[in-house]
Amino acid sequence: MRIGLIGTGNVARALAAGWQAAGHDVVLGSRSPKERGETQELGGFTVVGLREAAGHGDVLVNATPGTASMGVLHEIGAAALAGKVLVDIGVGFTGGMELSHPNYSLGEEIQAAFPDVAVVKTLATVDSVVMKDPGSLEEEGTIFLSGDDAAAKQTTRQLLSDLGWADASQLDLGGIRTARGQEHAAYLFMGVAEAIGAYGFSFKVVRPRAA
């Protein structure tokens, strides 16, 4: 599968490494590819312009900070994004460490602004290491999916499987409105990280015992 990752930070590079190892064709999209070296590889991955990354990918991945995501996507343009599956990972924090989307979610905002894009929210509740290597944990946690398009979610499930997330650990929460739960869990994530002194953990849904 051809994957265009929008962003060049730790999250983008971690996911690119995981998907490249699984045999996918990945590029990283940057606002300033020439500064990074368009023909030069960044961490082993080719960096191209934002629209070039969008054109490359059958699937696009928003790996930008949540406060910058809408500006970046508008820069790419609706025409270049139309018909794509967009896996959204972003969570926005203000300078005061408050959520930038307190009453809704970035995933919802993207879907409303780009109705011809199939947005799937996932991987928003783990850090970049666990995203691409769930086996780094003592036991596998739960990873969540939110989105309105069933086919797009199936594609995303396969990409999660390629990173090592077992099918049984992938929990479909429902439509894109449920992305609020994933993003707003950031407060809990930060609290747990401070309590245990580490970011490499995952939440897990433990189901009730059978009657």
Supply 180's token pair.
């609020």
Which pLDDT score is estimated for 39? 45
pTM: 0.93
Q: Is 183 exposed, middle or buried (0-12, 13-18, 19+ CB in 10 A)?
A: buried
Is the dihedral angle over the CA atoms 12, 179, 98, 76 positive or is it negative? positive
Which pLDDT score is estimated for 127? 96
- Sorted by sequence, the CB contacts under 8 Å of residue 51 that are 6+ apart come out as 76, 77, 80
84 neighbors 114 (Cβ within 8 angstroms): no
Which pLDDT score is estimated for 38? 45
Which pLDDT score is estimated for 11? 94
Which pLDDT score is estimated for 34? 62
Tokens 């939110």 locate to 146
pLDDT in tens, the chain (211 residues): 999 999 999 999 999 999 999 999 999 999 876 655 544 456 678 899 999 999 999 999 999 999 999 999 999 999 999 999 999 999 988 877 888 888 999 999 999 999 999 999 999 999 999 999 999 999 989 999 999 999 999 999 999 999 999 999 999 999 999 999 999 999 999 999 999 999 999 999 999 998 7
Between strands 85-88 and 59-62, the pairing is: parallel
The distance of Cα 140 from the centroid of its chain, to the nearest Å, equals 18
**CA 20/CA 27 separation, integer angstroms:** 10
Which pLDDT score is estimated for 42? 61
**CA 11/CA 128 separation, integer angstroms:** 5
